[in-house]
Amino acid sequence: ESEADAHDEL
């Protein structure tokens, strides 16, 4: 999983 795929915050 790349950093771009990991946006899970608001």
Residues that bind another protein (CB under 8 A): 2-10
Query: 2: Cβ–Cβ under 8 A, 6 or more apart, which residues?
Result: none
Q: CB 10 → another protein: shortest distance, Å?
A: 5
How long, in residues, is the chain? 10
Q: CB 2 → another protein: shortest distance, Å?
A: 7
Q: CB 8 → another protein: shortest distance, Å?
A: 5
Alpha-carbon span 9 to 5, nearest angstrom: 11
